[in-house]
Amino acid sequence: MARAKPAKKSSRNDAPDAIALLKADHRQVEDWFEEFDKARSDDRKQDLATKICNALKVHATIEEEIFYPAFLAATDDKDLHHEATIEHNGAKNLIAEIEASSPDDDYFKAKVTVLSEMIKHHVKEEEQPGGMFAEARDSDMDLDQLGEQLAARKAELEGESDEGDDTPPPRGQRERGETGRVMKSGR
């Protein structure tokens, strides 16, 4: 299996610049989608689907909270910004469906496959020449500073979702917290 390439480090510290960090996330999720396609056991499929969904939720959050607003402010490219935001909304809806199901669901594999196709399209749009990342590099965005912010927020979000336990709660044993986010039961 191909491993994600290490993100390009910024000159300020050891944090990757914003685009390198986001691209490294893309490569990791692509790897997990490939593993999902090859997985034979339902447990492995569930584990990979959970990893994919969690990673995409964190990735979408850091893009929407930090990268996209900075991109819009620096470039005023509302078309690219709005398209990316709408693509995120579609992916988040499908992620919620995947999280509410399991490999026992006849549509589980199809949902993960369609999510993979949606993400491939979104990644292509962001990474292609003339895409959001190229436009960001050509702007006056401080990608090193944004990379630091993205890395810090990503670590914070991953800490919230992990809290020392990689196993998702059993299906049907999730509850919504005050923020509306799905939380593990027993908190």
**Residue 187 placed within a domain:** no
pLDDT of residue 183: 38
Asked if residue 163 has pLDDT above 90, the reply is: no
Give the CATH number of the domain where residue 35 resides. Answer: 1.20.120
From the number of C-beta atoms within 10 Å of its C-beta (0-12, 13-18, 19+), residue 36 rates as buried
Q: What's the whole-model pTM score?
A: 0.79
Helices (H) and strands (E) in the chain, counts: 7, 2
**Residue 52 placed within a domain:** yes
**Residue 172 placed within a domain:** no
Number of domains in the chain: 1
pLDDT of residue 120: 97
**Residue 120 placed within a domain:** yes
List 184's β-bridge partners, or say none: 174
- What does the alpha-carbon distance between residue 138 and residue 112 come to, in Å, rounded to a whole number? 34
Residue 145 DSSP code: H
Tokens of 63: 């893009």
**Residue 130 placed within a domain:** yes
**Residue 150 placed within a domain:** yes
pLDDT of residue 140: 95
Residue found by looking up tokens 């399991």 in the block: 102
**Residue 178 placed within a domain:** no
Three-class secondary structure of residue 172 per DSSP: coil
pLDDT of residue 21: 97
Tokens of 110: 């199809």
Q: Which element (helix H / strand E) includes 28?
A: helix 18-38
Give mean pLDDT, residues 166-183.
38
**Residue 141 placed within a domain:** yes
Q: Containing domain of residue 153, as a range?
A: 18-157
List pLDDT tens digits, range 20-44.
999 999 999 999 999 999 999 999 9
pLDDT of residue 7: 47
Under 8 Å between Cβ of 168 and 183: no
